[in-house]
C-alpha cells in the first residue's frame, strides 16, 4: 500500500500497514514484557480486547505469530458472546499462549457491582486464576471492559496485577484505541503522520478487523446471525436427541394408548 494513501479502513492490509509502520521505530510488546519496567528503547504495548469473537481473535493472533509479533489478548470470562468454560472455547486461551501471546483478564465492573466492594479484589483474583488455569499460564495483566460506558475503573492502582488503565500505561503515556471501529483524530494523526511517540499503548478489538473492510452494522449483523445459527442448531440437535430418549419414548407410547 502507498504510504501516502493510507485508507481509513479496518481490513487486514491496513492493520499490517499500521503495525509494520509503527514497528519500524517502536517494538511491539506485551504487558508481560513490562513486568520489570519500561525498556529504554522505543516500544508500544499491543493489546487486543476480545469482547465478541474468539474466532476473530485467533485469526489475528495467528497472523501476528507468523510475523513474529506477540501481543496481549484480554479475554472475558463472563461476556454475553462467548463462554470460556464451554467445550467450544475451552482451548482458546491455550491456543493464544501457544502462539506466544499473553492472555490477560478482561473484566466487567457491572459484575463486580453485584457484590460488596470488599469482595472485588477477591473476585478479580478468582477470575484471573481461572483464566490462568485455562490458558496454562499465570495471568499478570488485567483490563476493564468498556471503560467508555462503565466509567472509572475501580481496580486501578490496586497493585494486584498490571492494570492496563494504571497511570503508567494509560495517562503517563499516550493511549490510542480502535474502540467502536473508529479512530479519534489524534490517533489517526499519529498513525499516518510518521511522528510516533517513544512509548504508547495501542488498544484494539479483533472484531473490527477482517480480510475486507465492513461497516459496524455488517460486523454485528454477521456476529449475531452466526450466534443465532449456533443456538438454533444446538436446539435442533437437543430436540433430536430428546426424541430418542427412552423415557420420552415410553411417555409417548402411553400417551398414544390413552
Give the residues lining the site for Zn ion (CB under 5 A).
49, 51, 145
Nearer to Zn ion by C-beta: 49 or 153?
49
Residue position matching grid coordinates 495517562: 171
CA pair distance 128, 75, nearest whole angstrom: 10
Among residues 21, 1, 39, 23, which one has the least CA distance to residue 71?
23
d(CA 79, CA 254): 44
> What whole-number distance in Å separates Cα of residue 258 and Cα of residue 256?
6
Look up cell 453485584; give the residue. Answer: 114
In the complex, the smallest distance separating the C-beta of residue 171 from Zn ion, rounded to whole angstroms, is 19
- If the CB atoms of residues 187 and 207 are measured against Zn ion, the closer one turns out to be 207
Is the CB of 70 or the CB of 106 nearer to Zn ion? 106
- Looking at residue 11, what DSSP letter applies? B
- In angstroms, give the least distance from the CB of 52 to Zn ion: 9
Signed CA dihedral, 123, 129, 130, 131: sign only: positive
Residue 105 in 3-state DSSP?
A: strand
User: What's 258's DSSP letter?
Assistant: -
Find the shortest distance in angstroms from Cβ 78 to Zn ion.
12
Cβ proximity to Zn ion, 51 vs 166, nearer residue: 51
List of E strands, 131-255: 141-144, 162-163, 175-177, 199-204
Shortest Cβ 75–Zn ion spacing (Å): 10
**Cβ-based nearer residue to Zn ion, 38 or 184:** 184
Measured at CB, which residue is nearest to Zn ion? Answer: 145
Nearer of residues 110 and 251 to Zn ion, judged by Cβ: 110
Amino acid at each position: 500500500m502507498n504510504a501516502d494513501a493510507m485508507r481509513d479502513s479496518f481490513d487486514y492490509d491496513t492493520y499490517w500497514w499500521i503495525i509494520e509502520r509503527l514497528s519500524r521505530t517502536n517494538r511491539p510488546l506485551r504487558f508481560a514484557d513490562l513486568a520489570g519496567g519500561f525498556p529504554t528503547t522505543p516500544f508500544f504495548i499491543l493489546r487486543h480486547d476480545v469482547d465478541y469473537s474468539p474466532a476473530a481473535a485467533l485469526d489475528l493472533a495467528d497472523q501476528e505469530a507468523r510475523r513474529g509479533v506477540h501481543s496481549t489478548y484480554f479475554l472475558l470470562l463472563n461476556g454475553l458472546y462467548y463462554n470460556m468454560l464451554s467445550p467450544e472455547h475451552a482451548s482458546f486461551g491455550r491456543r493464544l499462549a501457544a502462539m506466544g501471546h499473553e492472555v490477560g483478564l478482561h473484566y466487567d465492573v457491572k459484575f463486580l457491582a453485584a457484590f460488596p466492594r470488599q469482595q472485588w479484589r477477591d473476585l478479580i483474583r478468582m477470575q484471573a486464576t481461572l483464566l490462568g488455569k485455562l490458558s496454562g499460564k499465570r495471568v499478570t495483566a488485567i483490563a476493564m471492559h468498556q471503560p467508555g460506558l462503565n466509567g472509572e475503573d475501580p481496580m486501578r492502582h490496586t497493585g494486584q496485577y498490571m492494570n492496563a488503565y494504571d497511570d503508567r500505561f494509560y495517562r503517563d503515556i499516550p493511549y490510542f484505541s480502535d474502540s467502536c471501529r473508529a479512530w479519534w483524530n489524534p490517533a489517526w494523526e499519529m498513525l499516518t503522520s510518521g511522528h510516533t511517540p517513544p512509548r504508547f499503548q495501542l488498544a484494539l478489538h479483533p472484531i473490527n478487523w477482517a480480510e475486507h473492510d465492513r461497516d459496524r452494522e455488517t460486523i454485528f449483523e454477521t456476529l449475531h446471525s452466526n450466534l443465532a445459527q449456533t443456538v438454533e442448531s444446538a436446539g435442533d440437535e437437543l430436540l433430536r436427541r430428546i426424541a430418542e430418549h427412552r423415557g420420552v419414548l415410553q411417555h409417548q407410547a402411553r400417551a398414544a394408548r390413552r
